[in-house]
Amino acid sequence: MTDDSVTPGPATPGPWDEWRRLTPARLALGRAGTGLPTDEVLRFGWAHAMARDAVHAALDVGVLAADLALQSWPAVTVTSRAPDRATYLRRPDLGRRLAARDAETLRARAGAPCDICLVIGDGLSALAVARHAVPLLAALRPRLPGVRFAPAIVIATQARVALADEIADVMGARLAVMLIGERPGLSSPDSLGVYLTHAPFTGRSDAERNCISNIRPEGLDYAAAAFKLAWLAGAALQRGLTGVGLKDESDAALPGTERAPDALQPRVDR
């Protein structure tokens, strides 16, 4: 009599197991028969759920503003023209424009012309903003001595990158710096991005911006990101441009210095 029952064997390991120690990328997953091992299927489901949660989670504006206040950063809160998260995801164009009532609020807060307007937008991952925006700004401030910041950091909800252009224009800033939650990946639901735009106004194109991506302890750490951001901001103010015309040459600066030479000295308009 033949026993037709089959006892499943262990998953067959992939040939690149050692690589998994070096990257969170989904490689060398192994196989069980003709499919993936059950634990890898479960890990994929968990990672996908984390990414979805990051997209739909709301930013706790009150907690963020309180954390900024502890670092002596005043903050004001605005929203885009997207009235809710569902509309924001379906209508990216609305996330790029400031709600009319908030434009008036910012005009009332704007003071003298300034060098940099800092904007923190929830973007596609409020989790990234909640975790990394404040530590990044703490690392940034000492690297920009003498720079004139806008009277308040603007916290923007339902925000796309281009929303910072309108905000900074209203605030009279020469440079918009937007910290925003990036589109989550399966291994990085909390990746923070930074976008810089010189002479911001509504209608600027993405080719006129510079971007620093994947800011988080597992990616580009706060100190390294702050160094790059300070160098780019200083170079943008000095040279009067951002985007394809401004290349990131911060790696040429001496490591460990508080600032890159010359580039971080903002131009004084006379």
* pTM for the model: 0.84
Rounded Cα distance between 133 and 199, Å, is 23
The strand ranges marked E within 207-248 are 209-215
User: What's the pLDDT score for residue 264?
Assistant: 43
- Domains of the chain, each with CATH number or no CATH: 55-252 (3.40.50.11240)
pLDDT digits (tens, 9 = 90+) for 42-85: 888 888 888 888 899 999 999 999 999 999 999 999 999 999 99
Least confident piece of the model among 3-7, 31-35, 134-138, 159-163:
3-7
CA dihedral over 232, 205, 129, 99, signed as positive or negative: positive
Comparing 211 with 30, the larger pLDDT belongs to 211
Q: Which long-range contacts (CB under 8 A, 24 or more apart) does 63-67 make?
A: 63/130, 64/120, 64/129, 64/130, 64/133, 64/134, 64/155, 65/155, 67/134
pLDDT digits (tens, 9 = 90+) for 83-114: 999 999 999 999 999 998 999 999 988 888 99
Beta-carbon contacts of residue 82 (< 8 Å; ≥ 6 apart): 88, 91, 94, 95, 158
Contact between 154 and 120 under an 8 Å Cβ cutoff? The reply is yes
What distances in angstroms separate CA 270 from CA 18, 56, 91, 132, 267, one per listed residue? Answer: 59, 46, 42, 36, 9
pLDDT digits (tens, 9 = 90+) for 221-263: 999 999 999 999 999 999 999 999 999 988 876 455 444 444 4
- For the residues 207-228, what does the mean pLDDT come to? 95
In DSSP notation, 184-215 reads P-SS-TT-EEEEEEES--TT--GGGEEEEEEE
Count of all residues that appear for the chain in the document: 270
In this structure, what token pair is assigned to residue 241?
């441009």
| Percentage with pLDDT > 70 across the chain | 87
The tally of CA atoms less than 13 A away on the side-chain side of residue 119 is 37
Contact between 26 and 14 under an 8 Å Cβ cutoff? The reply is no
Rounded Cα distance between 192 and 125, Å, is 8
**Per-residue pLDDT at 13 exceeds 90:** no
Rounded Cα distance between 11 and 14, Å, is 9
Rounded Cα distance between 244 and 236, Å, is 12
